Structure 1
Amino acid sequence: MFQQTARARPFWLATASGVALATCPVMAQTSEESTPTEEAAGTPDLQTPDVVPTTSDAPDTASEQQIGFAADNLNYDGDSEVVVAEGNVQMNREAIEMRADKVTWNRQTGQVFAEGNVMIKNPEGDIAYGDKIELTDTLRDGVVENLLVVLDNGSRLAAVKGTRFDNGNIELENAAYTPCPVEDDEGCPKNPSWQVRAVRVLYDRAKNKVRYKGARIEIFGLPLIPLPGLSHSINNEPSSGILVPEIRLDRSNGFEIAVPYYLRIAPDRDMTITPHVYTDAAPMLEGEFRALTDIGSFRINGYATYGSLVPLVGEAPDTQKRFRGYLESAGKFQFDPRWSLTYSGRVATDRTFMRRYDISRDDRLRSTFELERIGSNSYLSIAGWATQTLRVNDIQGQQPIALPIIDYRQRLDDPIFGGQFELQLNTLAIGRTAGQDTQRAFAGAQWNLRGLTGLGQEVTLTALVRGDVYHSDENLLTAIPGYRGKSGWQARAIAAVAADMRWPFIGEFAGGTQTLTPRVQVVATPPIKNLDIPNEDSRAFDLEDSNLFAINRFNGHDRFEDGARITYGLEWNYSRPGFNINSIVGQSYRLTDKPSLFPDGTGLTDRSSDIVGRTTIAYRDFLRLTHRYRLDKDNLAVRRNEFDATIGSRSTYAVVGYSRLNRDILLLGEDLQDREEVRAGGRVAFAKHWSLFGSAIVDLTQQRDDPLSGADGFEPIRHRLGLAYDDDCLSIALTWRRDYADTGDARRGNSFSFRIAFRNLGF
């Protein structure tokens, strides 16, 4: 062993870990301009040299001041005090391993040279390669020629020349960085999808930061994007700077360029500020703030501009400029294992702002909060919500504000029959600035007992009681009479009993297993005072397979189905490895001749209901088909028809959807309207990493389906078509979209967008 008096880590350790670019998840540009510098001769080589790592034969060191040394030949000239080691030279110190063809140490001048297939590996698994390394005997500073650093995550840094100074700073000349593979699937060399090239790279050890001079990004070998002042930290933390711009072109705003600036405020807080500049619209500013606290996280996102507003249909023209914007925020906080708070808020200054600037196509903005306590046998929720409508013909004053909504539930075991009780307390207050106000409170209890008979029948018995109290005013402001109820105080009592029996039969069929399950349910409920009660949460009902066997087939609490009925159905399931078919069909029959509470066209108006069903077919991850339907009980006409299909692999697939609601009525006394539409989308991979994608929505509604609609039976709503490239470290997409409807200043027409994302670069 050779005794080393200096305690500094060897230069090759700093080279392998100090300038390892892949240790930073976010890279960004600073605002400073790069200074032109003379580029070092040569080209940085990102390919791994033909050096095979070997097990070190150098002995372990007893202290960090010692260096383990092994070589095929070792010569020492006592006169010149030069040590020359040749042939598979291996050295180690503090778990750092180095090998080279030859190492020369001049003890008089203090110079150390390592040359020929130099390779250094640090404890983290990073490997550095070089042709020549020149050091002082303090091992604090030196020079490396043709440096290559390969990190344990596959990222690479190469430089024609690297210099380490006594203070720990490092300078690389004519450098390149990439996280992309440099070999194809067959192990042959290839150019990376992208790389950062720079005239000079400076590593500041004190600030733990890397800065670039004359940096640019090369994509497929072409220098496309200059990055003046590119910099980043190397301590696994993102750093502030300019991110990759976004480019769009559309009919409403013209050409758009957005340049995000990322601001690292603290390890648990950051902000992104994005100016948007348009050729046909006023500039817009976007900002997003994110924070992580000890008990949760939240974010705030906003858009703001100052411009004119094109009026909606039927509104008076207004060319006066005004503030326009959109604000949203969401977060969740976990106070302890049982208590949590979740909130989401969304608000816009007008109804077309979000659509014009392509922020979202939602036609309603809902803001909510919910405080929850979840116990082993209890649940408490204190919530509230409000809605802002963006629909053209809706009145904002008619939109409900629900505050508070309190729901408490408690489960108790039945010590006598072995069933389970669930107690529930619920209260709701709904207010409107120009509409009906409603308050509700109820208390209920439900008992369930589930068991198996000796013949294998699964039987569930249910008993339910509930008492409701309502108060409402301004009832005449509700447009649909069936939703109003009587103003003032109203009360009602609800009781129901039910028995549900399922009897599965299992057997072999066509090389697989089939299960045939008949199901029968009987529900009895005394007459209930429903129409005197305001209807806030039991609207837009339609019979389908998901609610066929529900005790109360109305959604919500404001309506409860009364009378006695029997519901019967059949479920068939067939499965074999990788393949499954599931189908259910059913119908119900009311045992009383009392007029139905359900509106016309819902499938439950008469004593015999319509026939509803669903069929799902799945084959591995390649195919999934779902068909839902409702057939008229009298003539088997299709009143509801929904079809959804997903076919293909992850790289090439098609998604098709069709839906039609045909209630065969002219006037509808509730919200759900007849309509027909078809949806299609897909992606086709036509080469390695390349694909075409697209989607379209077409409204097929005719005036015979909806007399108030101006549709002619084929009205495209929007479509998009794009070209994409996607590999392990680069994503590029060019998209064309066309909208077919004007909404205020959100104009119909074409829009184009270009997106590029560099993985492992933080963009």
Structure 2
Amino acid sequence: MSIARSTTLAMLFLCGAGSSAHAAETAPDKGTTTIDAMRLEIYMDREMRAFGDAEISKDGQYIKGDRIFVNTINDEIHAVGNVFVKQGNATAEGPELRMKMEDREGEMPEPSFTIGGDGERKGRGNASTIMFEGPTKERLKSVRYTTCEAGVNDWYMHANELEIDHHSETATATNAWIQFKGMPILYTPWIDFPFSNERASGVLLPTFGSTTRSGFELAVPYYLNIAPEMDATITPRYMSKRGTQVQGEFRYLDRSNPHIVNTDRLEYLPNDDMTGRSRYAINLRNTHTFGGGWWGNLQFERVSDDTYFSDMSTRIALTSRVNLPQQVDLHYDKNTLTNDWHFTLMAQQYQTLDKVSYPYQRLPQIALSGFQELGPIDTRLSTEFVRFDKNSAAPISVTGERYTIYPTASLPLLASYGYITPKVGLRYTGYNLNNAGTSYDSKSTAIPTFSLDTGLYFDRTMRVVKNVYTQTLEPRLFYVYIPYENQNRLPIFDTGLSDLNISTLFAENQFVGGDRINDANQVTLALTSRMIDQRTGVQRLSATIGERFYFNDPRVTTCSPANPTAAECSSTNTVHSDFLTAVSAKLLNGWNADAAWQYNTDNSETVRANMGLRYQPEPGKIMNLGYRFTRDRLEQIDVSTEWPLGTNWYGLARFNYSLRNNASTNDKRGPIEALAGLEYNAGCWQARTVVHRLTTATTTANYSIFFQLELTGMSSIGSNPLDLLKRSIPGFTNPDQISNTVE
């Protein structure tokens, strides 16, 4: 029986009565099979043949070919000539296909295939055979696979066998090797990888590199996708000079607050070949919310020995660390429109690596602070109890307990043109000391405070070229009176003099910590001007100048009774503070600038200066220039850049250099950190090489070489320098995330 093209007849034949001509125009029901072709031949109720652009679809499966033969008794399909198969985000093309549609079991010889799509990186490849093994699985023999666009064959993964699981959206290859630019570069007996943006468990491609401290390094990470909110990575790391280290990282989201990522890390090196002892590092950082306003933190860091970071790390932030915190804290917050209360319970101690700077332990610290509106008056209360102790390895020194109660009341009077806020308070501090000897007193103090903060707002409209701005002029006056109380025989547990800057100019107490409160009869004058783009609301320029003037010389210092001849024990005789200025600019052409300057007018010298300049017209183009100066301590320049050098090429550099020798601050003349590298982005792969030099806390230099080949959609080969680049070059952008190719 031969008939013209008719989907309706095919549906009647395969699915039974109940269909009609209208059925061909509506979406088929689940389980319904639809056939379309130029010509259909039906042989009783056993077989049907479709010729000429034949198509068959059922439950999301779609098959097309020159000819399709359907055996309805065995539910078998035989498609011949230009066969095309599609299910979900996977397609396959080949000369022939045999399949049972109900079970989706069958075979296609010499197929080419694609995986992925819909915003994901699409993979493609070919094989000698593809076997369909159910609704969600295929197995391919003698396969090659890449994520490069059609016509671009820069790299392929070859494998004896590749299993694709659409349920987990992962692919598993056995006896696999990577071919890059026609050359084999890596072999692995087994590897799996996701072909979508979803995470998947499996062995990641190895990373390798070299450092002067550890020699050649090779790491083979294994990723565990434990749950949607939980994963882990286990990484054996071979170091030619030291042996094999095992690294582990466990991450999970807080169930009550999925924005909190908790990370636990562990490193263990049994029997270091260079030191002859086992070495380890532990870093636990966890935050949990318990509901009802309660939440807590755990931070625990420990290493096996004092030189662990300088031997193992390539980060100056780690190599210079000498005190590792170990603390647990519990918090309660209650916030309403008219009140705000916070409770904290904390225990804290440290592991000290330099065997010199033993900070005080807080065992425990209990704090309660709150805010309450009483009509037009704002009241605040700050209370604290701390028990300070010392590590048993530290030299014997004063320890003990400190109690603090500090209530304040303020009356903010606000208007559109300005404000005035008077504030009064009384700070009580008491001690119960151990090992006090004759140098310290357990004296309690009750010191009243008074401040008056007032300011005005002026603004005008001004035009610069074609842009219209609002320019403001904001004078501010801040007066503080605190009577003098002799505190020289009180201990210094956690207190130091804060740096003088624009923010601390308007602080009542110039000490950080609870052991000192300064005497004051002083006024701070400051003037701020801003330029705000009226079209966008963006602040393009802000400049502030300020200075503090003393009616009485400050007498309270951070002098310790144990060392009464120290420099900080002498009070200052001055009528004003250093002159301060700060400028921040965000210009339209991609330039950003920040500068701060502290100038001593009595000695006519700069005390501190920080300047930063950034040019970033677009992602992938950035230049940073920084300068830091602190008199008698440090003077450094810092230059970094990421810049296109041609089509798909990017240059990377960072140079941090000390301009002075200062033994007391370990700021030696010469390069502190230097980096140079190149990146190439070919779309389906990126390559980067980076050379890094780092001066450690012991003033020795550690050199590292990074090379990474990143195969998009699969994994990376080599040592990953991305974290180093993001830290070293502020504003760094991975070229893979830059949409426009640089010409």
CA contact (8 A) 2:554 2:571 kept: no
One-letter amino acid matched to 1:383: M
**Partner in structure 2 of residue 342 of structure 1:** 297
**Partner in structure 1 of residue 406 of structure 2:** 444
What TM-score results when the alignment is normalised by the length of structure 1?
0.78
**Partner in structure 2 of residue 671 of structure 1:** none
Give the alignment partner of residue 389 of structure 1, picking from 336, 339, 352. Answer: 352
Percent of matched pairs sharing the same residue: 19
Give the alignment partner of residue 654 of structure 1, picking from 623, 635, 643. Answer: 623
Give the alignment partner of residue 141 of structure 1, picking from 90, 105, 115. Answer: 105
**Partner in structure 1 of residue 585 of structure 2:** 617
Which structure 2 residues correspond to residues 314-463 of structure 1 after superposition, within 5 A?
321-358=276-313, 360-364=318-322, 365-376=324-335, 377-391=340-354, 394-395=355-356, 398-415=358-375, 418-433=376-391, 434=395, 435-453=397-415, 456-463=417-424
Q: Establish whether residue 643 from structure 1 lines up as the match of residue 596 from structure 2.
A: no
**Partner in structure 1 of residue 518 of structure 2:** 561
Q: Please state whether the residue corresponding to 1:535 is helix, strand or coil.
A: coil
Give the alignment partner of residue 733 of structure 1, picking from 688, 701, 704. Answer: 688
Which structure 2 residues correspond to residues 673-688 of structure 1 after superposition, within 5 A?
674-688=633-647
Give the alignment partner of residue 85 of structure 1, picking from 50, 73, 96. Answer: 50
What's the CA shift string for 1:374-398, capped at 9, x where partnerless?
Answer: 111211111232233334xx515x3
CA contact (8 A) 1:738 1:748 kept: yes
What's the CA shift string for 1:218-263, capped at 9, x where partnerless?
Answer: 3456432222122468999756543222212222222222222345
CA contact (8 A) 1:446 1:462 kept: yes
Would you tell me which structure has more strand in proportion to its own residues? Answer: 2
**Matches of 1:716 and 1:252, distance apart in 2:** 18
CA 1:580–1:329 in structure 2 vs 1: closer, same or farther (change >3 Å)?
Answer: same
**Matches of 1:587 and 1:369, distance apart in 2:** 40
One-letter amino acid matched to 2:658: D
**Matches of 1:385 and 1:731, distance apart in 2:** 45
CA contact (8 A) 1:407 1:426 kept: yes
CA contact (8 A) 2:555 2:571 kept: no
Which range moved further: 136-145 or 644-653? 136-145
**Matches of 1:289 and 1:453, distance apart in 2:** 53
CA contact (8 A) 1:545 1:612 kept: yes
**Matches of 1:110 and 1:252, distance apart in 2:** 66
CA contact (8 A) 1:253 1:281 kept: yes
**Matches of 1:231 and 1:237, distance apart in 2:** 13
Q: Please state whether the residue corresponding to 2:492 is helix, strand or coil.
A: coil
**Matches of 1:347 and 1:509, distance apart in 2:** 58
CA 1:175–1:293 in structure 2 vs 1: closer, same or farther (change >3 Å)?
Answer: same
Shift of 1:62: 5.9
Shift of 1:306: 4.5
**Matches of 2:406 and 2:539, distance apart in 1:** 43
**Matches of 2:24 and 2:651, distance apart in 1:** 56
**Partner in structure 1 of residue 679 of structure 2:** 724
Aligned residues: 667
CA 1:371–1:109 in structure 2 vs 1: closer, same or farther (change >3 Å)?
Answer: closer
One-letter amino acid matched to 1:532: R
**Matches of 2:547 and 2:572, distance apart in 1:** 10
Give the alignment partner of residue 445 of structure 2, picking from 492, 495, 500. Answer: 492
Q: Establish whether residue 159 from structure 1 lines up as the match of residue 122 from structure 2.
A: no
Q: Please state whether the residue corresponding to 1:228 is helix, strand or coil.
A: strand
CA contact (8 A) 1:516 1:573 kept: yes
Q: Establish whether residue 213 from structure 1 lines up as the match of residue 145 from structure 2.
A: no
**Partner in structure 2 of residue 303 of structure 1:** 267
One-letter amino acid matched to 1:426: E
One-letter amino acid matched to 1:549: F
Give the alignment partner of residue 483 of structure 2, picking from 526, 529, 544. Answer: 526
Q: Please state whether the residue corresponding to 1:171 is helix, strand or coil.
A: strand
CA contact (8 A) 1:4 1:66 kept: no
**Partner in structure 2 of residue 46 of structure 1:** none
CA 1:293–1:6 in structure 2 vs 1: closer, same or farther (change >3 Å)?
Answer: farther
Give the alignment partner of residue 76 of structure 1, picking from 41, 48, 66. Answer: 41
CA contact (8 A) 1:3 1:65 kept: no
What's the CA shift string for 1:18-54, capped at 9, x where partnerless?
Answer: xxxxxxxxxxxxxxxxxxxxxxxxxxxxxxxxxxxxx
Q: Please state whether the residue corresponding to 1:283 is helix, strand or coil.
A: strand
Which structure 2 residues correspond to residues 156-235 of structure 1 after superposition, within 5 A?
156-160=123-127, 161-165=129-133, 170-178=138-146, 180=147, 182=149, 189-191=150-152, 194-202=155-163, 210-219=171-180, 222-231=183-192
**Matches of 2:665 and 2:553, distance apart in 1:** 36
Gap runs ≥5 in structure 2: 1-7, 16-21, 559-566, 717-743
Shift of 1:754: 2.6
Q: Please state whether the residue corresponding to 2:505 is helix, strand or coil.
A: coil
CA 1:66–1:323 in structure 2 vs 1: closer, same or farther (change >3 Å)?
Answer: closer
**Matches of 1:555 and 1:571, distance apart in 2:** 26
**Partner in structure 2 of residue 38 of structure 1:** none
Q: Please state whether the residue corresponding to 2:611 is helix, strand or coil.
A: strand
**Partner in structure 1 of residue 79 of structure 2:** 114
Q: Establish whether residue 630 from structure 1 lines up as the match of residue 630 from structure 2.
A: no
**Partner in structure 2 of residue 587 of structure 1:** 547
CA contact (8 A) 2:168 2:200 kept: no
CA contact (8 A) 1:543 1:603 kept: no
Gap runs ≥5 in structure 1: 8-55, 183-188, 311-318, 477-484, 664-673
